[in-house]
Amino acid sequence: MTISKEIYITREIEVLIDRKSQYYPVLSIIGPRQSGKTKLIRKHYPHLPYYDFEDENLRKDVEKDIIGFVRDNIEGAIFDEFQNIPDITKALKVVSDELLWEANKQGITAVPARFIITGSHNYLLDSRVKEGMVGRVANIKLLSFTISETGGRNPFALMYQGGYPVIYTNKRLPEDFFSEYVENYLDREVRNIHGIHDLITFKSFMEICASLTGNFFDYQKVSQVLGISKKIIDKWLAVLHASYIVFFARPYHKSAIATFANKSKLYFYDTGLAASLLGTKAPEHIVINQDLRGKLFENLIVSELWKKNFIKGRYLDPAYFWNVTGEGGYEVDMIIEGMVGLKAIEIKSSDTFDSRWFANMNKTKQLQDAKKFVVYTGPTQDVEGGRALNFTDLDQLFLD
């Protein structure tokens, strides 16, 4: 029997991890399930003892004396899926303060990371946890693979496969992986962490969200289809957001803009998950379905820019969209605030450039001086009115 060698694909965010871990006693790596958190930290910190808090027996032992457990690991440790023992953050705060106090007495201003914590739920949305860890933790968001990390060049395959590492390192079939992923997510996170027991309706809710990818979230439609209230919808959206399934892009809003949509557009962090929830069975189905192709390609680009934003250590919304309502209304897909001005971007799932794609970017006075880009599947080139970027060259959007 041949045993295949384990594959590890270097992550772009490792540079940020190395930099930020020098200044805080706790390093937090959070992101969706199966985004590669455990493999990454065990590669980076092979010398540290590893504790998986999804192990029920381990949890029971730790909960007998949480602060004692942390102090016993004062030289360093990895606490995987730490959200299963929420009170451990209190112990980390106490021990971190002790480490910082001792360092300050010696004239040292920073304590490099001792404790590596990972989670599939954004604990920083809990204000009590956030306040307790300020100044003590370096925060890293690890999402599924970027386009460059996958090594992919076929946009339709990328939209279908998404970026979860095991699809590339273990050659998992997307149709098998995502069906298991959703079931595990519903069981472990939706029910066990958030206490939501109507999993059938929640899965239907996820499927409707996938159908709304790249669009304004339609509360009325969702409420009518599923028979649930706005209060429940808001709660379920918060769950998807906190567990890094979906995110929202906001309209670009400056006082000089007279008209804008007071709404946000929904996207999935991973297009493969969205495609699966939409019932897509192969990349060819995306090729022949124009509506599906357009929404998933836009999602691919927007989510890629979110990932690049986190890799560069930025946590504000990396991009917005421009929306003008009323008669003659129009949109520009993305607006990025660069260091020296705005960047306006249109996203098109085509490999043939069309100069008319710049039309909406040229309609508004406030965008006249913006650098203008079109992201598409054709070659990167300078064109009249701006620059056309192949979808694999998105790093150019971060150059000021």
Query: What pLDDT, on a 0 to 100 scale, did the predictor assign at position 134?
Result: 75
Asked whether the predicted pLDDT for residue 66 surpasses 80, the reply is yes
Instruction: Using a pLDDT cut of 70, give the percent of the chain over it.
Output: 90
The number of CA neighbours under 13 Å toward the Cβ of 192 is 13
Tokens 């307790």 -> residue: 132
Pick the CATH number of 14-141 from 3.40.50.720, 1.10.10.10, 3.40.50.300, 3.30.450.20: 3.40.50.300
* Mean pLDDT computed over 376-396: 95
Tokens 């959200």 -> residue: 83
Cβ neighbours around 270 below 10 Å, total: 28
Q: How does residue 262 score in pLDDT terms, banded at 50, 70 and 90?
A: very low
Rounded to an integer, what distance in angstroms lies between the CA atom of residue 248 and that of residue 267? 6
The torsion angle over the Cα atoms of residues 109, 115, 120 and 123, rounded to 10 degrees, is -50
Query: What pLDDT, on a 0 to 100 scale, did the predictor assign at position 6?
Result: 67
Q: Which two tokens stand for residue 270?
A: 């991973």
Please, what is the average pLDDT of the chain? 89
Query: What pLDDT, on a 0 to 100 scale, did the predictor assign at position 243?
Result: 92
For 101, residues 6+ apart whose C-beta sits below 8 A from its C-beta are none
Q: Which two tokens stand for residue 232?
A: 């429940």
Q: Which two tokens stand for residue 14?
A: 């490792």
* Interval 271-327: pLDDT, tens: 999 999 999 999 999 999 999 999 999 999 999 999 998 898 775 566 688 876 656
Rounded to an integer, what distance in angstroms lies between the CA atom of residue 49 and that of residue 219? 47
* Interval 154-186: pLDDT, tens: 999 999 999 999 999 998 999 999 999 999 999
Nearest CA-CA partner of 244 in 66, 52, 33:
33
Query: What pLDDT, on a 0 to 100 scale, did the predictor assign at position 240?
Result: 95
Query: What pLDDT, on a 0 to 100 scale, did the predictor assign at position 304?
Result: 95
CA distances from 220 to 154, 211, 247 (A): 37, 14, 20
| Secondary structure class of 375 (helix, strand, coil) | strand
For 348, residues 6+ apart whose C-beta sits below 8 A from its C-beta are 297, 354, 357, 374, 375, 376
Domain boundaries, the chain: 14-141, 152-400
Rounded to an integer, what distance in angstroms lies between the CA atom of residue 215 and that of residue 34? 26
Nearest CA-CA partner of 313 in 8, 83, 9, 14:
14
Amino acid at 284: E
Q: Does residue 156 contact residue 320 with C-beta atoms inside 8 Å?
A: no
Q: Which two tokens stand for residue 51?
A: 């504790």
Query: What pLDDT, on a 0 to 100 scale, did the predictor assign at position 233?
Result: 95
Rounded to an integer, what distance in angstroms lies between the CA atom of residue 207 and that of residue 273? 10
* Interval 324-349: pLDDT, tens: 665 667 889 998 887 778 899 999 99
First to last CA, the chain: 53
Query: What pLDDT, on a 0 to 100 scale, did the predictor assign at position 56?
Result: 94
Q: Which two tokens stand for residue 215?
A: 């669009």
